[in-house]
Every structure is written in C-alpha cells, then in structure tokens.
Structure 1
Amino acid sequence: MDKSRYSGEIRVRSCGILIEDGKILLVHLYSPVTDDWIWIPPGGKVQFGESTAEALKREFNEETGLDVVVKDLLYTNELIQNDIHAVEFYYLVSRIGGKLKVGKDPEIDENDQIIKDLKFFDREELASINVVPQFIASELWEVLDPS
C-alpha cells in the first residue's frame, strides 16, 4: 500500500455511526496507519469545498451502498502517528435508502482496494475485533444512552 497519499498533510475525515437493532455497522479495511486489518465506521476524507455532512453522505454510499441522513456529532478524534495526521468527526447517521453492499474507494485502483467486508456488530462482539478508534468499543454506548 502506498502510504504517501495519506501522509504529509492534515486530513479531515468524516465518519458515520449507523446503529440498527442495537448493532453498529463497521467496514473491514486495511489501515495505512496500523498496517493491519481493522473494523472502522464508514467514512473518509472531506474534499475541499465540501462540508463534513456532504462528505459523510458521499463516503458512506461509496463504502456501503447506503444513503444516510447525518444527525448529531458524537465524537471527535485527532490521530497523529508517524507521518499520518488526521482530524476525524464521528456523526450519528440514519439509513434512508440504498442497498447494503461492500463498496470501494474510488481514489484507489481496482486491484488495490482496501475495503474487504461490512458487518453489523453488537456491543459484546466489539470486544473480540480490532475496532478503531477505541471509542467505538469503550465509550460509544454510554454516549448514545447516558442514563
């Protein structure tokens, strides 16, 4: 994987938390940060002139085939590791259409795609997978239901 497309700049990312039937939708992809397969909420880079909400709708559809409406901002994360620096916004989203399917990153060649799978996970299942950021496994459910 060519990490240079992710390094040397501050990347702004917009990501979506889709919860259905008590489960969160995650994308299984190869991470340029960890050099490992991880499970992460769908999302990606905000393009110049694009709002975080617009970017999230576009990225969510590219990666999952689903159309979403963007709701509350739940979490922000700043990642600085080696040559990679990202500021990430995690929004609650709701499905409004589309058909769930493993998508792809249009910025990456067909033969080098990093998205492998999609799956809904319940809270207990998150403990047994490599989920990023850790907020998803450790704090998300308390943020969603603080009672």
Structure 2
Amino acid sequence: MDIAREEVKRLYGNRLRLRVCGLCLIDGKLLMVRHRGIGPTDTFWCPPGGGPQFGETAYEALIREFHEETGLDIEVGELQFVNEFMQDPLHAMELFFDVRIIGGQLRQGFDPEMAADHQIITEVRLLTFDEIKRYPESEVHRMFQQCRSMEDVFHLKGYLKQ
C-alpha cells in the first residue's frame, strides 16, 4: 500500500464521516479537485470539500475547506443533495451545496491534516462536463453517473441512492 493510501485510511478510514462539498460553476465548467490515495487507479476527481470540525457549522466548514483546497473564498448557497459515499475503507455522508466565488485566487491547495510530503491533492481544475465524463467512472465522483449534462448536476435533489 502506498503512502497516500495509508494516510487516507489512517485519517479517514473505517469510520463514518460527515463531508461538505461545494458545486462551483465558472463559465460552464465545474471546479474539481483531483486526489490520490482514493480508488483503484489512484486518481479521484470530486468537487472541493471536506469534514467539519467539532463546533463548526456546515457553512463554516465548507468556506474553510474550499479555501484550503482551492485558494478561493466563497459564499455558500442552497443545499442541493446528499450522497452517501461508500468505497472501502471510506464511508461519508456528503452534503452538496451551491457555492459562489467572492474572492481569492485559484490555486492547488492542501490538506492540513497531512504532512507536506504526503499531500493527496494533486490538481485543481475547471472541467467541462465532457471532460469529466471522459474519465473512467471509478475516477470521478459517482454523482456524475446520474447525469447526462452539467445542468443535470445542478438538478440533483434529495438523497442519491447507491
């Protein structure tokens, strides 16, 4: 097992986590973060987000996580849908919100829980829907399996069934 997978398992594995995630559309492209250490090919693209800390609201956590991962400052909008992410050893309840950029500068961010030489964020990029769909299903968040267009992403509602 490589170091990234070991770190992911150590920090997030074998327990239920809450995650907050932001759907940020810019010029028809969705802001996505590429992680290593997750999935069978060591590439996993998903919208920016992460786990709230004790005493932190979901909105506060999403603002912090978005800034850490992308360098951007956001305003959190409506809750869009809930996804239950289950990919051994990970299990998370994910709350997806619309977000709007209000400042900052786009950059590849970091995960402060991980050492500098063990970071799992490998890229932050705006992707078209076609670019997202070109990746194998195992390399992108499963919400895209339920969508045929970028518009569909922003019409997902309720609890996404497995």
TM-score by length of 2: 0.81
**2:141 aligned with 1:133, yes or no?**
yes
Structure whose residues are more often helix by fraction: 2
The offset of 1:105, in angstroms, is 0.5
Residues 144 and 153 of structure 2 are in contact (CA less than 8 Å); yes or no, is this contact kept in structure 1? no
Change (3 A) 1:124 1:71: same
Partner of 2:50: 44
Partner of 2:154: 144
Identity %: 38
Structure whose residues are more often strand by fraction: 1
Change (3 A) 1:126 1:35: closer
Instruction: Give the aligned length.
Output: 146
- Name which of structure 1's ranges 42-51 and 90-99 shifts more when overlaid on structure 2: 42-51
**Which consecutive unaligned segments of at least 5 residues does structure 1 have?**
none
TM-score by length of 1: 0.89
Partner of 2:70: 64
* 3-state SS of paired residue (1:57): helix
2-structure distance, mates of 1:40, 1:99:
19
**Which consecutive unaligned segments of at least 5 residues does structure 2 have?**
157-162
Letter matched to residue 36 of structure 1:
D
The offset of 1:126, in angstroms, is 1.4
The offset of 1:136, in angstroms, is 3.4
Letter matched to residue 30 of structure 2:
I
Q: Displaced runs of 4+ in structure 1, greater than 6 A?
A: none
The offset of 1:143, in angstroms, is 4.9
The offset of 1:127, in angstroms, is 1.1
Partner of 1:98: 104
1-structure distance, mates of 2:74, 2:102:
5
Query: Please, what is the CA RMSD of the aligned residues?
Result: 2.0
